[in-house]
Structure 1
Amino acid sequence: MTIDHETRFAVHPDAAAAMGTEDLRRHFLIQDLFQPGRIRLTYTHYDRMIVGGAVPGADPLPLETIRPNGTARFLERRELVVVHVGGGAAEIRAGEESHALQPRDMLYVGMGQEVTFRSADAGDPARLYLLSAPAHRTLPTRHLPHAAAKRMDLGARATANERSIFQYTTTIETCQIVVGMTQLAEGSVWNTMPAHIHDRRMEAYLYFDLPLEARVFHMMGAPHETRYIVMANEEAVVSPPWSIHSGCGTSAYAFVWAMAGDNVDYTDMDPAPLKDMR
């Protein structure tokens, strides 16, 4: 079997407030996602979101079920989003259809499909970021090139948060998963500040396009009890519904954000004003 998996349990905000650095990293940080020839998955108890990575070679790499799913097939009761975050072109087979993904493209796969991954060039394998959440019905599989995503330009150079947000799933129908990508402009380092929470949905971030020595300080915690996790390139972090999720990097970077929960309303958030944060 070419799949590794682990489980992350939900953490109460009071428990998180008492954690030191190593405990915060053990519960919320996801490392080593992209391993050649393997699929690595983290099954979370936050809205049952699965966060993973796949690095296929020239041979098909099947997305097989894992024990926490409790189903015979991985997507028997789930939907899937695949985001190409690096490397060469990828070919993803979903059911009877095949889809060619270039860097920063997204593929949505509806419930019930069998999925395999392969790289067009084994010498330059694709790094595929995987996000899966429970689904209640089968929706059409859709390939969304990066250029077709809904774009919003926010922030300003004066506040070091000039950025472009690319909303992927707002242009297609999903059961509950919401996914997009944010690109920081050169010279900007802050994302999602002022911060917010959304008590009805969890979120996960994957930071990428970071230089080897660069880092992002990912802010988390209840607004009145904040903490941070220092993150390197192509590492992910789980954000509970009660937590803020913001970051400041030592250089420009990009990140994929993904939510699952009670609705698919991108604007459903509760602000955390800077004056109230601690």
Structure 2
Amino acid sequence: MLKSNLRRAIDPRHAKTMNTSELRAEFLIDDLFQDDEVCLTYSQYDRMIVGGATPKTGPLVIDAVDQTGTPSWLDRREAVLVNLGTSGTVEAGGSSYEMGRCDMLYLGMGSGSVTLSGADAHFYIISAPAHREIPARLVTIEDAVLVPLGGRDTSNERIIYQFVHPAVMESCQIVMGMTKLGTGSVWNTMPAHYHERRSEAYLYLDLPEDQNVVHLMGEPDETRHMIVRNEQAVLSPPWSIHCGAGTSSYAFIWAMAGDNVDYTDVDMVAMEDLR
């Protein structure tokens, strides 16, 4: 079963008037992983699709998605699928891919329908418009480029895992990877930044069920927060910072889409400018 919904773009002047429930309704995705369902959110921020699929009792197929307006969802789009379970299988474009935990599979424009299977698998899904065909590629966690950042003295010691990234492979516009925080570190993406040329989505994971992340968003001088739990996603508009602090160590998957694939193309915010 496939379910999809539309999230419209929100102006920052509107966002700063929202209460907690309204912010969560527009920017938090808390129902990604439902047994035997594909759950997709089509965002008007760079036309990014953020979704989840859990093939608990049998295969699930993604083909036509109403919001794309095309016979098959990847006719004019690319996608990345991440297995968050123990093992799973993806079939697309006449090929089959076996995926371990946190492996990422890139599917290029024209890949056709996608079949997902694995009783212990659940897949995180990102898709964005594409302008040309690029061959599919499975990037395992062993293939990712590792970049250490931060330090214990600032409580943000972390390792960046670059998967769909110019250092590893080409894509049309998706840049995607994972960040794992070290033991005792809780802050992510601080000092904060935003990027007017790209939208981003965060999926928090490896967070104990009784722990939370306080996710910060909004314009640098009009920040807001949301309480986020394990395997929940947050949409980050181009005008918004995106960072947070957890009540325990955790990881998160970041995915960007927009005008370029330059991971370093960000607008930094000085600590003293945050409000």
TM-score by length of 1: 0.96
Question: How far does residue 58 in structure 1 lie from its aligned partner after superposition?
Answer: 5.6
Alignment of 1:118-129 (within 5 A): 118-119=117-118, 122=119, 125-129=120-124
Question: How far does residue 84 in structure 1 lie from its aligned partner after superposition?
Answer: 1.4
Distance 1:182 1:83 in 2: 14
Matched, 1:135 2:133: no
Distance 2:155 2:272 in 1: 19
Matched, 1:213 2:210: yes
**Matching residue of 2:254:** 257
Alignment of 1:199-210 (within 5 A): 199-210=196-207
Deviations 1:57-116 (A, max 9, x none): 36321112221110000111110100112x221010111110000001000001111211
* Corresponding residue SS for 1:228: strand
* Corresponding residue SS for 2:67: helix
Deviations 1:227-278 (A, max 9, x none): 0010010000000000000010000000000000000000000101111111
Counterpart residue identity of residue 260, structure 1 = A
Among 88, 91, 103, which residue is 1:90 paired with? 88
Distance 2:233 2:64 in 1: 21
Distance 1:88 1:227 in 2: 35
* Corresponding residue SS for 1:47: coil
* Corresponding residue SS for 1:133: strand
**Matching residue of 1:50:** 49
Distance 1:198 1:163 in 2: 21
Counterpart residue identity of residue 18, structure 1 = T
5+ long unaligned stretches in structure 2 = none
**Identical residues among aligned pairs (%):** 53
Matched, 1:159 2:142: no
Distance 1:65 1:31 in 2: 23
**Matching residue of 1:103:** 101
**Matching residue of 1:26:** 25
Distance 2:143 2:52 in 1: 23
Among 179, 189, 201, which residue is 1:182 paired with? 179
Q: Is contact 2:36–2:57 with CA below 8 Å preserved after alignment?
A: no
Distance 1:249 1:127 in 2: 23
Distance 1:58 1:248 in 2: 36
Question: How far does residue 10 in structure 1 lie from its aligned partner after superposition?
Answer: 0.4
Give aligned pairs, total.
272
Q: Is contact 1:3–1:64 with CA below 8 Å preserved after alignment?
A: no
The alignment's C-alpha RMSD in Å is 0.8
Distance 1:185 1:104 in 2: 17
Question: How far does residue 147 in structure 1 lie from its aligned partner after superposition?
Answer: 1.2
- Give runs of ≥4 in structure 1 deviating > 4 Å: none
5+ long unaligned stretches in structure 1 = none
**Matching residue of 1:222:** 219
* Corresponding residue SS for 1:101: strand
Question: How far does residue 156 in structure 1 lie from its aligned partner after superposition?
Answer: 0.6
Q: Is contact 2:36–2:58 with CA below 8 Å preserved after alignment?
A: no
* Corresponding residue SS for 1:220: strand
* Corresponding residue SS for 1:68: helix
**Matching residue of 1:116:** 115
Question: How far does residue 203 in structure 1 lie from its aligned partner after superposition?
Answer: 0.3
